[in-house]
Amino acid sequence: MTKVYKLFSILSIVNTINVTSIDIWSCNKCCKSCRRNTDSDNGNIPNSQNGSQNTNKIPFTGDKYNNDINENSMQPNTLYNSIREEFPFHQRIALRNVGATCYMNATLQCLCNIEKLVNYFKYHRTIENYIRDNGSNTLTYSFKYLVENLWQSKGSKYIIHQCNGENSNNKYFSPTGFKEKISTMNPLFEGVQANDAKDLVTFIIMTLHEELNKIKNPNQSWNNTNINQTNHDMVLQNFIQNFRENNKSIISDLFYAMSGTYTQCSKCNEIKYNLQNYFFLIFPLEEVRKFKIQNSRSFNFKNILQNIFIHPAIFNNQLNQLNNINNSQSVNLDDCFQYYEKMEFFTGENAMYCSRCNGQFQSCYKNRLYYGPEILIIVLNRGKGIEYKVKLEFTEKIDLSNYFQLKNLGNVYNLIGVVTHIGENGASGHFIANAKSPIDGQWYTYNDDLVYKVDNFKNQIIDYAMPYILFYQKV
Ligand SMILES: [Zn+2]
């Protein structure tokens, strides 16, 4: 079961802003005991502090389609185009656990710290037009409402909660409505069982893209056959162009990129390509670890043997290093990318059919990445039990120029979010988010209804966190 963990001994109190114009439901106890049943984000707004509801509509800022809302309270937002303009000091708002929803809260906090995504959902007219035309029965509606709650304009009439206990400045919001919406839209998220943050991020990205794609009835089919060395570059350009012509949304702009596979027939050396799009990469850490060990054995052992008689001391040293690698329980992101694009050989029944040779012959196969998205999502599949202990060494900045085929579309990324899993295996435990604020550049830990400033990025995130999902942003 999900449980609130106090992560770090030093609690940083978040900056306060003037919140007098925001409805705050305070309790006189502490965060752990102020569980109210009336706090819901079901899209209703209270017309007074006693919590009575007067409308089913969301009070979007600048919403001219909702006559029930006092327009004066909506005015300030129309002055801004970006969160940087509107929030010189941003009060970070946590998300309450509404029933084994730590996986959802952690995912949403990482997504809601992606500056371009938040700017679009908060200020872009397209969203309001979309909701006007399609109503509240969309994920766009619920996501917009969530963004508005986590980035509350002065004068907004959203409900947040403040605890007067030990974390007096800690404010949180209950994402009940968002949970209900995803449960309605996808049975995977029904009920109160803990779920997978990867499944949720996949669902959110695919659904928002489907809803917001400006191209209605897009042609997503693509003939992937007959791409060879001769026509590869031309087909590649056509593929990219075709994707861009059929996918025009903030989601495809930020999250989608292109990958492919490469297969070579051992008899005629003919190379065939297959092109596809991706919006996250998933690395199975235990497989990566085995691959790393196997690689180090096959490449290093020969070199080490050369020293056995000439330089016995060096030989022993190298052998120790090799043993360390063999016993290593950690891998890094380079290991993951090398695993991803490793060469595999298919023989017998598994061999690819070669149309030129008219038969199945041994073939080699590789994954390749053509370019990366603006926001690169990396999922670390940890499996269960012993496999779960593989540690990922990751860094704040990564350079993927070794792995991207198209070098001129940007290869360097900065870390902006980490969904971390705490627990002994993947089947149980607790999810928290660490996200970098787009406003002050500081890292914050979001642990359900608590939010902490991260004092030591390296200790608390790089060395400590057991990352499950990494969010990187192109520099
Ligand atoms: Zn062939």
Report d(CA 433, CA 159) in Å as an integer.
22
Distance (angstroms) between ligand 1 centre and the Cα of 349 equals 15
Distance (angstroms) between ligand 1 centre and the Cα of 229 equals 13
- The reported pLDDT for the residue numbered 437 is 95
Mean pLDDT calculated for residue range 34-43? 43
Whether the per-residue pLDDT at 76 is higher than 50: the answer is: no
E-strand ranges in 104-182 read 159-163, 171-173
18 touches 25 (CB < 8 A) = no
186 touches 203 (CB < 8 A) = yes
Domain 23-213+373-474 in CATH: superfamily? Cysteine proteinases (3.90.70.10)
Structure token pair of residue 35: 């569980």
461 touches 418 (CB < 8 A) = yes
Q: Do domains 23-213+373-474 and 224-248+257-372 have the same CATH topology?
A: yes
Report d(CA 470, CA 433) in Å as an integer.
10
For all residues of the chain together, what is the average pLDDT? 78
Distance (angstroms) between ligand 1 centre and the Cα of 364 equals 11
Beta carbons within 10 angstroms of residue 169's beta carbon? 15
Where do we find the tokens 């801004």?
80
Distance (angstroms) between ligand 1 centre and the Cα of 352 equals 9
Distance (angstroms) between ligand 1 centre and the Cα of 345 equals 14
Distance (angstroms) between ligand 1 centre and the Cα of 258 equals 26
Mean pLDDT calculated for residue range 186-213? 91
Looking at the chain, the whole-number percentage of residues with pLDDT higher than 90 is 42
- The reported pLDDT for the residue numbered 311 is 73
List the domain boundaries for the chain.
23-213+373-474, 224-248+257-372
**What's at 138, amino acid-wise?**
T
- The reported pLDDT for the residue numbered 300 is 61
Report d(CA 117, CA 140) in Å as an integer.
12
Report d(CA 99, CA 171) in Å as an integer.
18
Architecture of domain 224-248+257-372: Alpha-Beta Complex (3.90)
> What is the largest distance, in Å, between two alpha-carbon atoms of the chain?
88
Report d(CA 381, CA 218) in Å as an integer.
32
Residues in the chain: 475
Where do we find the tokens 């009336």?
38
Torsion-angle region of residue 449: left (phi > 0), alpha (psi -120 to 50) or beta? alpha
Distance (angstroms) between ligand 1 centre and the Cα of 354 equals 5
Distance (angstroms) between ligand 1 centre and the Cα of 267 equals 5
Distance (angstroms) between ligand 1 centre and the Cα of 241 equals 30
Distance (angstroms) between ligand 1 centre and the Cα of 235 equals 21
pLDDT range class, residue 356, cuts 50, 70, 90: confident
Report d(CA 19, CA 157) in Å as an integer.
11
- Reported pTM: 0.81
**What's at 347, amino acid-wise?**
T
Structure token pair of residue 405: 């085929």
14 touches 451 (CB < 8 A) = yes
Distance (angstroms) between ligand 1 centre and the Cα of 231 equals 17
- The reported pLDDT for the residue numbered 424 is 63
| pLDDT tens, position by position, 425-434 | 555 688 999 9
Q: Is 259 helix (H, G, I), strand (E, B) or coil?
A: strand
Of 212-216, 244-248, 271-275, 282-286, the range with the lowest mean pLDDT is 271-275
Residues 6+ apart with CB under 8 A from 321: none
113 touches 437 (CB < 8 A) = yes
| pLDDT tens, position by position, 382-397 | 766 555 678 899 999 9
Neighbours of ion ligand 1 (CB under 5 A): 265, 267-268, 270, 354, 356-357
Whether the per-residue pLDDT at 57 is higher than 80: the answer is: no
* Number of alpha helices (DSSP H) and beta strands (DSSP E) in the chain: 14, 20
